[in-house]
Amino acid sequence: MESQQTQEKKIIFSGIQPSGHLTLGNYIGALKNWLKLQYEYRCCFAVVDLHSLTVRQDPKELRRRCMEFLVQYLACGIDPKENLIFFQSHVHTHTELAWILNCYTYMGELGRMTQFKDKSAKHADNINAGLFDYPVLMAADILLYQTDLVPVGGDQKQHLELTRDIAIRFNNLYGETFKVPEPYIPEVGARIMSLQEPTKKMSKSDENPNAYIALLDSPDVIMKKIKRAVTDSDNEIKYAEGKDGINNLLSIYSSLTGEKISDVEAKFAGKGYGQFKTEVAEVVIESLKPIQERYKDLMNNQDYVKEVYTTSAEKALSISSKTLRKVYKKVGFVPKA
């Protein structure tokens, strides 16, 4: 009965690259949504370590960060009994399918990807083939699990479109093989902006640490960063065009407390920015506190964490191998005895 129920649940795949630090933006924009989805859907949440090699990484740092990211997923409340939480590199079908899909993806399509254009401008000394091929690996991630829905932010829509095109192309050539995934747009995912340049999205790899709140920032640091957040000079706590800094702080407050923006405005009417910032910081500190406590406990419980990612990777391998076998058969490889 239970297995039948899980069969009927739709499948979600999402991944975060282990670069920089997981931020309040990732929490409000992605992880908090994952928490809502995790019992309704069958979810795969991967730390997409293979993708992060497309820019240079220090091996020691990368290893530490990969672990920190996975443990932060758990600390945020992703339930490993109901979802698969694993490292992409532990499931070899991802790179295997990526190779096949490479042969069904055109150079022109990849050259049009805006993220490739942006990243190659940013890393002009290291425009490697992996950077170009990045979206194909992402397509493999998604298509391996016969994924129904992919929660994506605006910057990944183009990659998801390409994934759909590749799936449709393959299906047209060989018959129904891949589920064609749909984007999953959360109801009202607040987009959290940089604290220093509030017209830009809060980025987990911003060079200026004052631009983001890391999930693991201490209360002091959080207070300092929010106090320093760029605002405007008209001293009115109101959500309005051109008041990007204040709008951002209002969004943060509202998403973490669940209060409507208009209620938050009313609450702070006539108050100064200083007090508002202090209260925003307090809400952030309180919201991150349980996550940070769970994080510490989990980091002290490496056996448990290992058990989670190992079991998840085994299940992920078993599910994804079915798709890969189907693909190998369709393209004409001799089946393994």
- Cα torsion 113, 116, 121, 123 to 10°: value is 180
Residue of 12, 142, 223, 237 interacting with ligand TRP (CB under 6 A): 142
Q: Return the biggest CA–CA distance within the chain.
A: 76
CB of 14 to ligand TRP, least distance (A): 5
Residue of 12, 15, 113, 211 interacting with ligand TRP (CB under 6 A): 15
Q: Is 201 a catalytic residue?
A: yes
Strand partners, 15: 46
Nearer to ligand TRP, 158 or 311 (CB): 158
Element (H, E) at 336: none
Number of residues that bind ligand TRP (CB under 6 A): 13
Looking at 26-163, which runs of residues are DSSP E strands? Answer: 42-47, 83-87, 149-151
> Does position 14 bind ligand TRP by CB under 6 A?
yes
CB of 141 to ligand TRP, least distance (A): 4
Q: Is 119 a catalytic residue?
A: yes
Whole-angstrom distance, CA of residue 57 vs CA of residue 277: 35
Whole-angstrom distance, CA of residue 285 vs CA of residue 215: 10
Q: Which of 72, 64, 78, 2 is nearest to 34 (CA)?
A: 78
> Does position 22 bind ligand TRP by CB under 6 A?
no
CB of 46 to ligand TRP, least distance (A): 7
Q: Which range, of 149-157, 168-176, 225-233, 267-275, touches ligand TRP by CB under 6 A? A: 149-157
Q: Could you tell me which residues come within 8 angstroms of residue 149 by beta carbon, excluding any fewer than 6 positions away? A: 10, 11, 12, 41, 181, 182, 183, 184
Nearer to ligand TRP, 119 or 243 (CB): 119
> Does position 13 bind ligand TRP by CB under 6 A?
yes
> Does position 204 bind ligand TRP by CB under 6 A?
no
Are the beta carbons of 200 and 22 closer than 8 angstroms? Answer: no
32, 204, 225, 277: the catalytic one is 204
Q: Which range, of 12-20, 200-208, 234-242, 266-274, touches ligand TRP by CB under 6 A? A: 12-20
Residue of 51, 201, 204, 243 interacting with ligand TRP (CB under 6 A): 51
Phi-psi region of 13 (alpha: psi -120 to 50; beta: other; left: phi over 0): beta
Q: Annotated active-site positions, please?
A: 119, 201, 204
- Point out which residues bind ligand TRP (CB under 6 A): 13-15, 17, 48, 51, 138, 141-142, 150, 152, 156, 159
